Chain A
């Protein structure tokens, strides 16, 4: 046995052959590292026995491999016996290799505990203000929770990455400074409230835009403070999409859990709603954001990403919808009825198209030649642009009559920001399909736009209240 381990050149080549054979074997999901080790032990023993009978290394290897059976047949047999392995198993049994399977992967376990710890910390943090009499419903003190909701989730996600990447000390300090400055600012702003306690427009705009602006801070921690790395910003875009999907899934599960708890406690005459409202919903919501973050990271290589799959399904459907809309408008001669929500509706449409474009670009192999999916994307972007221009045309004439309220300026600004993005994408996409532009240019454009979106959100969140007198 031991002679297969010696250092002469002939056995080196045997080692190489065994190496290649094992690598080939490991390509099948049905064969784990342990199985491969077991089969390799068999192979080596067989080779040793054949060599003892006088065969050369090469001959012994060939005969031993032949006796073990063709790898295809072997993997088929394993797949039949272990069909469960073809369904990649999530989180707790990721195949971490033979060595790791024998001694649990310490780094991996540590990440899990840090994530759990941060989730608990977030859940505790969101309840601390209630020690001072601030509750979620009936806000006397200037709507504390809506003001600060960003600061109960985002810093914990950022902290996870700051620890895991890790983010250098200077990066950590500047990130903390940004979060702290934002927190001081929104709490110091004298937002106007109606006598009934209803918040004004600028307050709501700030609440909606602050998390978007601060998300770039999470991105800063995600890339470990180095934006310039090869594809890190695109990874962050991918991460954002997957996080959203995971969060929605967890929220759905949480909804079922809470409906069940209300129901069964109701059956014994106990009302659960107050506890759910004050404890489970807020703590669960912030805790789940950290857990979802960790899940996205943990399963990165385990399952195909969902966001690109969804975009592939919905990009053609949205393109069809927009074409149908344009054709209907053209043939019936109907105009867009300008109501209050129309601008926001078309903003949302652009956001959806932007998302579809972004995630299909993030999952595309940037070297592959243009294909059908690219035509569909171009159609989608083109029709969205046409529809949005029609809407803007209809709204534009009347927006001056309405006057410039903060809401309207924000909605119009958002529309223009997204319109420019989609316009640029359409030009680049058309160039790519005609073979004049590399696909990576399109990705660069989207990556650059991360900054634009964050900057715009920061302007709306921070500057608008000042400009519009906190109305």
Chain B
């Protein structure tokens, strides 16, 4: 089963914020987590994650910093902000409402 592109895009904000709410992370690790959580069903083209991260950063929902990774390379870490947590709570209510509504029809 592959998930419709629009749905992937629509869920990206909630998903990224939720993963960053667990702990600070960087691009590759976020994608790995998405794959784990969805059992590989929610497939993003890897590169598309970054414009999403940059958009969230620009709206102040997350913030970034460069740190040295254990490999010696510079790595960009992202952290959720307070505004991001509020947004996440809001997203969560919305998705739960959608989920509940669909669930009532299909159960």
Binding site for B on A (CB under 8 A): 1-2, 5, 34-35, 37-39, 41-42, 44-46, 67-69, 73-74, 77-78, 80-82, 102
Contacts and interface: CB of A to CB of B under 8 A. Distances in A.
B4 interface: no
Contacts of B76: 34, 37-38, 41
B74 A81 contact: no
B48 A41 contact: no
Contact of B45 (A1, A38, A73): A73
Given A1-B70, A37-B74, A102-B66, A69 B47 contact: yes
A41 B27 contact: yes
A44 B74 CA distance: 12
Contacts of A2: 71-72
Nearest to B29: A45
Interface residues of B, number: 20
A41 B26 contact: yes
A41 B74 contact: yes
B39 interface: no
Nearest to A77: B51
Contact of A69 (B27, B45, B72, B75): B45
Nearest to B53: A38
B46 interface: yes
Contacts of B27: 38-39, 41-42
A69 B74 CA distance: 22
Contacts of A69: 45-48
What are the 9 tightest A-B residue pairs by CB atom distance, in nearest-first order? A1-B71, A69-B47, A69-B45, A81-B51, A68-B47, A74-B47, A45-B28, A77-B51, A67-B46
Contacts of A45: 28
B95 interface: no
Given A2-B71, A81-B55, A35 B28 contact: no
Interface string B73-84: 111100000000
19 contacts: A2-B72, A34-B76, A35-B54, A37-B74, A37-B76, A39-B27, A41-B26, A41-B27, A41-B74, A41-B75, A42-B46, A42-B47, A42-B50, A44-B71, A67-B46, A68-B47, A73-B45, A74-B47, A78-B54
